[in-house]
């Protein structure tokens, strides 16, 4: 599709609204990354939204500013008398009092993925899936398409540095969404184009084997709209296996990207420039000038090979949706980051503090490599918080081996999130593996002591990285305060 066939936001194109049952929805756990984004889009489309959350947060504040009524804590009294449905995520337990009250009133209970799928109706959805990199790639597309004036709708698992939001109701016809495989909820979506960045075993409470993971991603691919395209990494083995399976079924058109020689969009080089990089790709399969294709070089304003690869995935998928490649390549340079994805928290006493959402071994390794490339002669010091007992049980050794790439690490207790403790599973499993790999690492249960440790060992030129999907993100500013006052 040519660029002039894309929806023109200035023309005030009519966007779909929402199903009647979502006219007055109540969100349980409204402050979560996925839940708050859906609530924001509904508010922007005119719905009357109420919700509850365990505590105050930036997301809760933003929702109230948009007109939502949000109460703290979980109580049946929070459910409005005129609520038309209750929206939940997989983290909401059956004994939640607000969910129990909704069931007693025979209100529809809508999973967040079904709500998001309903909001995609009438748009041209582009869904981003994979074990790692979903938030970054979705954000890159949202920023680039917005920079080009296409005003897409988007729903992302983190706040963009630019617009400062994880969701937006756009006037254009494109809808970019992060597709979460953790609970198989991405089976709800029927995208026009989909990206699969990688396929690895994770979310052990829901998947018992790699075969189950492959079957889940195959189901996702089978949901593509007729004529749709699946954009898949040609470098990661799990993604290559998915490509083999999808092509064997013949149900979807597949376009690959990466450094592999057989990639349709081949990465010829990634050159690091401190905390940015430059990427050169060659287009194949006749796109933009014949079978031999042509070379294209563009900038990526975040560090690391994995982020550069994410940008190539975004470029390939956007082009498949009809966005001119040269324009999109330039626009991708406008992306400067998303919350918690190697996000700079500041500098004090000559020490930089950066926050990372990495919580899987592959993510830790990738972020540490990226930071190492931009750290110069300084050391990389890590404060790591393991996420989930099930993940630590299955991947504790690999997490410890990944931490060996840091100069020194402090490991906090496991952040349980939605899980109950598992007997015998503690952070010591990670620490023991890290020490066996030659790492300088210690376990520290106290966050206050951990902050003191990191601030005390850092010297000018060092870089401190807070890593994990839990509340370790709150400790970066405290480390900076401690550095500034010493």
Domain count, the chain: 3
Beta strands in 12-134 (DSSP E): 25-28, 50-53, 69-72, 85-88, 109-111, 124-129
CA dihedral 224, 190, 391, 72 (to 10 degrees): 170
Task: Answer yes or no: is 357 within a domain.
Answer: yes
Tens of pLDDT, residue by residue over 323-382, are 999 999 999 988 876 666 678 889 999 999 999 888 889 888 888 987 887 667 889 999
CA–CA distance, 265 with 312 (Å, rounded to integer): 8
Q: Is 218 exposed, middle or buried (0-12, 13-18, 19+ CB in 10 A)?
A: middle
Strand order of the sheet with strand 408-411? Answer: 341-348, 351-356, 463-467, 380-384, 408-411, 441-443
Q: What CATH number does residue 376 fall under? A: 3.90.190.20
Q: Is residue 9 part of a domain?
A: no
Whether 127 is covered by a domain: the verdict is: yes
pLDDT of res. 338: 63
Percent of the chain at pLDDT exceeding 70: 91
Specify the CATH number for the domain of residue 273. 3.40.1190.10
- Which of helix, strand or coil describes residue 409? strand
Cα gap 100→75, rounded to integer Å: 10
List pLDDT tens digits, range 129-150.
998 889 889 999 999 999 999 9
Task: Say yes or no: 23 and 168 in one domain.
Answer: no
Per-residue pLDDT, 405? 92
Residues 282 and 351 in one domain: no
**Catalytic residue from among 134, 192, 276, 444:** 134
Which residue range is the domain that position 63 belongs to? 18-110
Q: What is the pLDDT of residues 212-242, one digit of tens each?
A: 999 999 999 999 999 999 999 999 999 999 9
**Active site includes 135?**
yes
Catalytic residue among 123, 131, 135, 426: 135
Residue 464 has pLDDT above 50, yes or no: yes
Whether 178 is catalytic is: yes
**230 and 126, same domain (yes or no):** yes
- Hey, how many other C-beta atoms are within 10 angstroms of the C-beta on 8? 15
Of 65, 109, 85, 70, the C-alpha closest to 18 is: 85
**318 with 373, same domain?**
no
Burial class (CB in 10 A: 0-12, 13-18, 19+), 4: exposed
Q: What is the pLDDT of residues 288-304, one digit of tens each?
A: 444 467 899 999 987 77
pTM > 0.95: no
133 shares its domain with 268: yes
Residues 53 and 189 grouped into a single domain: no
Distance of CA 155 to the CA centre of its chain: 10
The beta-strand segments (E) located in 95-236 are 109-111, 124-129, 153-155, 167-168, 174-178, 193-196, 229-233
Same domain as 407, residue 355: yes
Q: Does 133 share its domain with 246? A: yes
Of 50, 131, 136, 178, which is the active-site residue?
A: 178
Per the annotation, the verdict on 131 as an active-site residue is no
Name the token pair of 283. Answer: 């287009």
């Amino acid at each position: 599709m040519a660029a002039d066939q894309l929806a023109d936001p200035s023309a005030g194109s009519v966007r779909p609204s929402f199903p009647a049952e979502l006219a007055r929805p109540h969100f349980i756990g409204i402050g979560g990354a996925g839940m708050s984004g859906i609530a924001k889009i509904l508010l922007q489309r005119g719905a009357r939204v109420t919700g509850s959350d365990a505590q105050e947060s930036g997301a809760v504040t933003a929702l109230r500013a948009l007109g939502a009524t949000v109460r703290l804590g979980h109580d049946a009294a929070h459910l409005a008398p005129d609520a038309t449905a209750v929206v939940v995520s997989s983290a909401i337990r059956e004994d939640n009092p607000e969910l129990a009250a909704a069931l007693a009133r025979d209100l529809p209970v809508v999973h967040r993925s079904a709500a998001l799928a309903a909001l995609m109706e009438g748009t041209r959805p582009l869904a981003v899936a994979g074990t790692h990199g979903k938030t970054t790639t979705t954000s890159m597309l949202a920023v680039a398409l917005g920079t080009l004036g296409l005003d897409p709708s988007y729903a992302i698992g983190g706040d963009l540095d630019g617009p400062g939001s994880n969701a937006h109701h756009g006037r254009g016809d494109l809808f970019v969404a992060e597709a979460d495989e953790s609970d198989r909820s991405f089976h709800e979506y029927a995208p026009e184009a989909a990206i699969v960045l990688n396929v690895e075993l994770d979310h052990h409470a829901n998947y018992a084997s790699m075969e189950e993971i492959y079957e889940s991603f195959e189901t996702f691919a089978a949901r593509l709209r007729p004529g749709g395209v699946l954009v898949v990494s040609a470098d990661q083995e799990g993604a290559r296996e998915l490509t083999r399976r999808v092509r064997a079924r013949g149900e979807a058109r597949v376009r690959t990207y990466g450094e592999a020689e057989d990639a349709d969009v081949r990465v010829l080089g990634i050159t690091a420039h401190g905390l940015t990089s430059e990427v050169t790709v060659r287009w194949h399969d006749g796109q933009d000038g014949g079978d031999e294709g042509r070379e294209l070089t563009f900038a990526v304003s975040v560090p690391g090979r994995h982020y550069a690869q994410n940008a190539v995935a975004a470029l390939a998928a956007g082009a498949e949706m009809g966005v001119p490649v040269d324009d999109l390549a330039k626009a991708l340079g406008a992306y400067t980051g998303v919350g918690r994805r190697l996000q700079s928290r500041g500098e004090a006493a000559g020490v930089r503090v950066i926050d990372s959402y990495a919580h899987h071994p592959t993510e830790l390794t990738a972020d540490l490599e990226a930071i190492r490339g931009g750290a110069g002669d300084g050391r990389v010091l890590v404060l790591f918080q393991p996420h989930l007992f099930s993940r630590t049980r299955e991947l504790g050794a690999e997490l410890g081996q990944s931490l060996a790439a840091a100069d020194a690490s402090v490991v906090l207790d496991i952040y349980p999130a939605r899980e109950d403790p598992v007997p015998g599973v503690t952070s010591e499993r990670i620490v023991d593996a890290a020490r066996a790999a030659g790492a300088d690492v210690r376990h520290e249960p106290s966050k206050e002591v951990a902050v003191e440790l990191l601030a005390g060992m850092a010297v000018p030129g060092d870089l401190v990285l807070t890593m994990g999907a839990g509340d370790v993100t709150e400790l970066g500013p405290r480390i900076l305060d401690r550095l500034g006052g010493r």
